[in-house]
Amino acid sequence: MALSDTPAERHRQVAGLFTDRVRGTASWDAPSPVDGWAARDVVRHLTEWFPAFLASGAGIDLPRGPSADDDPVAAWRVHCDGVQAVLDDPGTADRKLTNPHIGTLPLAPAIDQFYTADVFMHTWDLARATGQDDRLDPAFCARLLAGMEQMEEVLRSSGQYGPRIDVPADADVQARMLGFIGRDPFWRGR
């Protein structure tokens, strides 16, 4: 299924796939492709960084569920539903998000660019950690990769991406995107 171009609908699709992987996780302590992280840490990352980003940049406080340590499924559900409610709320249509590193952007595109894209990429981490289907939408992989390649130096210096992992020249776009963000697309759990 192709992903929507509207931020609210794309979040619904991307977060829905991540939710499926959350529900399919049998071991929250399984190692993930992110060095030093277990499956639980993938959920923790998404539920912890974005609320502060949204609150400081747009003055919006998301509902808080339990911690990913206590209940990663409920932590994700409460967080995901809160983000979707912001995107679906007509009252936020004219809101802006301001951040010293990115300037001021319309709220929905900012959520799409920084958060939904992060959920998309971390879906692979959780799926691979837990032995689930890890296929991602190839068109969105290509779009993200093209955008990130244009600002590689900025991304690498941010500390948010690991060193690029070389992949074979004939690798598919998902493997190339994963290699770009510092993931070994051929990683298997230990």
pLDDT in tens, 125-144: 999 999 999 999 999 999 99
Q: Is residue 106 part of a domain?
A: yes
* pLDDT for residue 102: 84
Q: What is the SS3 assignment for 162? A: coil
Asked if 157 and 20 touch (Cβ cutoff 8 Å), the reply is no
Q: Is residue 190 part of a domain?
A: no
Asked if 148 and 155 touch (Cβ cutoff 8 Å), the reply is yes
Q: Which domain holds residue 30?
A: 7-180
Give me the amino acid identity at 132: Q
pLDDT in tens, 6-46: 999 999 999 999 999 999 999 999 999 999 999 999 999 99
Q: Is residue 1 part of a domain?
A: no
Q: Is residue 122 part of a domain?
A: yes
CATH of the domain at 19: 1.20.120
Average pLDDT over residues 177-182: 95
Task: At 138, list the tokens.
Answer: 């190839």
What is the pTM (predicted TM-score) of this model?
Answer: 0.94
Helical H runs in 71-151?
Answer: 72-88, 107-110, 117-130, 138-149
Any idea which of 1-5, 85-89, 102-106, 125-129 has the lowest mean pLDDT? Answer: 1-5
Beta-sheet strands, E only, within the chain: 96-99, 103-106
Q: Is residue 57 part of a domain?
A: yes
Cα separation of 134 and 2, whole Å? 16
CA angle 152, 102, 79 (to 5 degrees): 95
Q: Is residue 185 part of a domain?
A: no
Count structural domains, the chain: 1
Q: Is residue 109 part of a domain?
A: yes
